[in-house]
Amino acid sequence: MRPPPQVDGVEHRYVDLDGLRLHVAEAGAGEPLLLVHGWPQHWFQWRRMIPELAGRYRVTCPDLRGFGWSDAPPGRYEKETLAGDLLALLDALDLERVRLVGHDWGGFAGFLACLRAPERFERLVALSIVSPWLRLPLSPRPVVAAWYQFAIMAPFLGRRIAGHPGFTRMLLRLGSRRALGDDDLGPYVEQFRDPARARATVALYRSFQLLELWPMVLGRYADRRLTVPTLAMYGEHDPIVREGTFATAERHADSLVVECIPGAGHFLPEEVPAVLLGRLSPFLAGS
C-alpha cells in the first residue's frame, strides 16, 4: 500500500499488540481522545475533525485490524476481538482512561469495550451504529438495507466483491448525502486491493451475521449495564440506524442521549464534520 495520506499536524506510528501491529495517527496534546473508524474506512475519515479536536485533546486514531495500514491477520473478526484490540492499545500507549468516539463498527467496538472495562472510559460517542441491545423490527427494511453485507458474505464471490474498487465507491456514495469525490474515496478504495484486507472484510460480516447477530438479538448482553455516559448520534437518512433503534438500549444505560442529525446520511465525520464537532464538544467536555 501507499504511505498514509498526510494531514497537517498528524504523525504516524505503529504499535505492537502482542504480535498484532496497529497503525495509529496522532495529533495534539491534552487529555486523551480515541477516534475509531468504521467500515470501509480507516483513520483518514477523521481528517476534517482532527485539527479542532487536537487543540484540546491528545487525539489518537487507530486503524482497526484488517483496515488501513494495520495488520490484517486471518481470523473471525468478531467485534469482541476489536474491543479487545482497543483495550490492548490503551495499555500499550499507557492511557489509563480516555474519551472514545467511534463510527460504525468502531462505535460498536466502543460499546463492547465500555461494557468490558468501564473504568477505562470517561465518555463514549457512538456514531451511525446500533447498540448491543438491538431488537429487530418486524419490518423487512433492515434486511433490505443490509443487502451489501449479504453480498460480501457470499461464498467464493464475497472476497472479489469486497476487493472491487467500484463496490466500495458505490457504497460510500450511496450512504452519504454529501457528494464525495475521488480525493475522499481514493484512500479507502485503495486498501481493499490487498487480498488480506478484502478477506478481513468478508470475515467481519460473516462473523456478524453468522456468529454475533442472533445471540445479540436473543439477549447476549441482556444482563450487562452501560455505566459510561454515552451519546449516540445518527443521520436522518442513515439506511440502518433509525428512530427507535436505541429504545431497548436506554433500559440498560445509566446515561444515554440519542440525537438525530437532520439531512445527514451514514458517514457523519465526512458529511457534516462542523455539525458533529458542535455537538461533540460540550458532551466530551462533560457539560
- Residue 182 pLDDT level (bands cut at 50, 70, 90): confident
pLDDT reading at 287 higher than 80: no
What's residue 64's pLDDT?
A: 98
Three-state SS for 15? strand
212 inside domain:
yes
- Residue 138 pLDDT level (bands cut at 50, 70, 90): low
Number of residues in the chain? 287
38 inside domain:
yes
34 inside domain:
yes
5 inside domain:
no
Lowest mean pLDDT among 147-161, 176-190, 259-273: 176-190
Strands (E), the chain: 11-17, 20-27, 31-36, 57-62, 98-103, 121-127, 230-235, 256-261
- Residue 2 pLDDT level (bands cut at 50, 70, 90): confident
Instruction: State the CATH number of the domain containing residue 245.
Output: 3.40.50.1820
Which residues in 147-184 are b (16+ Cβ under 10 Å) and which e?
ebbeebbeeeebbebbbeeebbbebbeebbbeebeeeb
| Residue 255 near residue 122 (C-beta atoms within 8 A) | no
**Nearest alpha carbon to residue 199 among 74, 107, 95:** 74
What's residue 1's pLDDT?
A: 76
Average pLDDT over residues 86-99: 98
- Give the whole-angstrom CA distance, residue 268 versus residue 278: 13
Average pLDDT over residues 102-111: 98
CA 193 distance to own-chain centroid: 21
Lowest mean pLDDT among 159-163, 238-242, 279-283: 238-242
- Residue 51 pLDDT level (bands cut at 50, 70, 90): very high
185 inside domain:
yes
Lowest mean pLDDT among 93-97, 181-185, 188-192, 262-266: 181-185
86, three cell numbers: 482497543
Average pLDDT, the chain: 95
- Give the whole-angstrom CA distance, residue 238 versus residue 103: 13
Structural domain tally of the chain?
Answer: 1
Q: Residues 140-179: pLDDT tens digits? A: 777 788 899 999 999 989 999 999 999 999 999 999 998 8
What's residue 54's pLDDT?
A: 97
- Give the whole-angstrom CA distance, residue 182 versus residue 189: 10
- Give the whole-angstrom CA distance, residue 63 versus residue 40: 11
Strands (E), 173-284: 230-235, 256-261
| Residue 132 near residue 216 (C-beta atoms within 8 A) | yes
131 inside domain:
yes
Q: H helices of 192-267, where?
A: 195-206, 213-217
- Residue 117 pLDDT level (bands cut at 50, 70, 90): very high
6 inside domain:
no
| Residue 246 near residue 135 (C-beta atoms within 8 A) | no
Which domain, by its residues, includes 232? 11-285
62 inside domain:
yes
Three-state SS for 147? helix
Between the alpha carbon of residue 119 and those of residues 102, 109, 247, 268, the distances in Å are 18, 16, 25, 28
DSSP 57: E
What's the chain's Rg over C-alpha atoms? 17
pLDDT reading at 276 higher than 70: yes
